[in-house]
Amino acid sequence: MSITNNLQNVLQELPTGVRLVAVSKFHPNKAIEEAYRAGHRVFGESRAQELRAKHESLPKDIEWHFIGTLQTNKIKYIIPYVSLIHGIDSFHLLSEVNKQAAKVGRTVNCLLQLHIAQEETKSGFSFDECKEMLQCGEWKELTHIRLCGLMGMATYTDSHEQITHEFRSLSNFFTEVKSSWFATEPTFCELSMGMSDDYKLAIHEKSTMVRIGSKIFGAREY
C-alpha cells in the first residue's frame, strides 16, 4: 500500500481535534514529498542535522516538529524554523531553547515531556519534578518560549491495560497542570501522546496530537 493510502487511512481514524504528526525521521525526502502531495504538512524529526537538511531541501510551508532528545549544542540549528519541540525534559533545556530563540527573534512553542513509562531509557520529568519547576516560576521569565502542553510515551508492551493506565495518568496530570498554571492560557492545549502501535488508546485518553511513522511510511529505508 502506498504512503498516500496509508496516510489517508490514518487520518480517517482520527477524530476532530486530534492532529497528526507524520514521523518522517530516517525516511528520505521522496517519502515526505509523497505525503506532502497528498496534502499533509506536519512532519516530525528527531535529529537536528537531518531536520536541517530536510528543511533546506523541502517545501517551506512544512510544519516541522522536533520529537527526539534534543542536545543543547544542536538547538541553534533548528530554532529558526522549528514549529514545535515535543521533548523538553529539563528546565536547563528550556532555558537554552529560550536563549537561542531570543538570538533570532522568535518565540518557540514547546511541550514538557513527562516520564510515564516503566522503561528507564525514556526521558522526561516525573510529575513531581514538573510541578516543582512550574511552582518555582522561573520559566515565566523565559519570554522566547511558549509552553503549549505536555508529551509522553507509554511503555512498549502488549498490555493495553498498562498503556491505558500510563496515558490516563498523563491526561489527568495535564488537567491538573492546566487548571493550576495555565487556566487563562488558551495556547496551553496540547497533549501529545500515542504512536503507531498505541495511538487509538491515546486518543481514548484525550490525546490531541499523535506521532505516527511506520504505519504511514513503513520500514525505514536507511
Q: Is residue 189 part of a domain?
A: yes
Task: Give the pLDDT confidence score for residue 5 in this predicted structure.
Answer: 96
Q: Is residue 222 part of a domain?
A: no
pLDDT, tens digit, 9 for 90 and up, residues 142-185: 999 999 999 999 999 999 999 999 999 999 999 999 999 999 99
Could you tell me the residue range of the domain that residue 97 belongs to? 3-217
Weakly modelled stretches of the chain, pLDDT under 70:
1, 220-222
If we measure between CA atoms, which residue out of 109, 59, 60, 62 comes closest to residue 88?
A: 109
Task: Give the pLDDT confidence score for residue 123 in this predicted structure.
Answer: 83
Task: Give the pLDDT confidence score for residue 222 in this predicted structure.
Answer: 46
pTM for the model: 0.94
Q: Is residue 163 part of a domain?
A: yes
pLDDT, tens digit, 9 for 90 and up, residues 40-54: 999 999 999 999 999
Q: Is residue 100 part of a domain?
A: yes
Supply the CATH number for residue 42's domain.
Answer: 3.20.20.10
How many domains is the chain built from?
1
Task: Give the pLDDT confidence score for residue 219 in this predicted structure.
Answer: 76
If we measure between CA atoms, which residue out of 120, 32, 26, 13 comes closest to residue 67?
A: 26
Distance between CA 150 and CA 13 in Å, rounded?
Answer: 22
At 123, list the grid cell. 526521558
